[in-house]
Amino acid sequence: MIELRAFEEADIPRLLGWIPDARFLLQWAGPQYKFPLDAPQLLNTLAATEGERPSCFMFKALRKVEGDVVGHIELTKVNYDTGTARLGRVLIGRPEWRSRGLGREMVESALSYAFNRLGFDMITLGVFDFNAQAIACYEALGFTEYERRPNARTFGKERWTLVMMELNRKVWAEKRAGEQPRASKAGKTNP
């Protein structure tokens, strides 16, 4: 089981250690961060999480039983008037922790925060078309594609297509209501 807690300054070194190279940084976070990612860039985002109506929520994701931090996720571009936000910077930190269901649980927790706690109506996200694992994770939770942006980013000679996806509160609620509780794959193996 995954639990989200507010990301704090003390969490910065761990997150920095999860970003191996410039390509990964662009795939994970988009062009706002420059490689090498460093504390000042993250502190800048952290500043946006302050106040009563922050424009951004940054979370670390913990495994409830083990108590260790395994991931990171954000709600950005928060618009309280339209009840919308962008899900982003979705990361299960170490490669060996991926493909065990942790990402899906983490995204599910962030969606629950957005729809239930913040009362939002629509969550969108952008994912590169080659990131099959992330797309599978989002589709499993009910996200559907609404736009494709070819050449949205370049990395060296590579041109990347951004797939825009959305999930509204109604679809989210219907999907949850129709689902049986799933057994977590995450607890089956130790890291």
Ligand X SMILES: CC(C)(COP(=O)(O)OP(=O)(O)OC[C@H]1O[C@@H](n2cnc3c(N)ncnc32)[C@H](O)[C@@H]1OP(=O)(O)O)[C@@H](O)C(=O)NCCC(=O)NCCS
Q: Kindly list the residues in this chain that would bind ligand X in the complex (CB under 6 A).
A: 27-28, 90-92, 98-104, 127, 131-134, 136-137, 140
Considering the complex, what minimum distance in angstroms separates the CB of residue 51 from ligand X? Answer: 26
| The token pair that represents 29 in the structure block | 């976070």
Is-contact 6 58, C-beta < 8 A?
yes
Q: Which residue has the tokens 């089956």?
A: 188
* Comparison of 99 and 154: residue with beta carbon closer to ligand X: 99
Residue 122 Cβ, how far from ligand X at the closest point, in Å? 18
Output 49 or 109, the one with its CB closest to ligand X. 109
Nearer to ligand X, 80 or 94 (CB): 94
Nearer to ligand X, 92 or 114 (CB): 92
Question: Rounded to whole angstroms, how far apart are CA atoms 119 and 127?
Answer: 24
- The DSSP secondary-structure symbol of 184 reads P
Shortest distance (Å) from residue 103 CB to ligand X? 2
**52 or 179, CB closer to ligand X?**
179
Strands 122-128 and 84-92: parallel
Shortest Å distance, C-beta 81 to ligand X: 26
- Identify which of residues 80 and 147 has a Cβ nearer to ligand X in the complex: 147
In whole angstroms, the minimum distance from the beta carbon of 52 to ligand X comes to: 28
Count other C-beta atoms under 10 Å from residue 32's C-beta.
11
H-only helix segments in 12-140: 12-16, 22-29, 39-47, 102-112, 132-140
Q: How far is the CB of 155 from ligand X (least distance, A)?
A: 14
Q: Report the alpha-carbon distance of residue 38 to residue 13 in Å, rounded.
A: 9
C-alpha distances (whole Å) from 119 to each of 52, 86, 106 are: 15, 14, 18
Among all residues, whose Cβ is closest to ligand X? 103
Angstrom distance (rounded) from CA 101 to CA 1 = 10
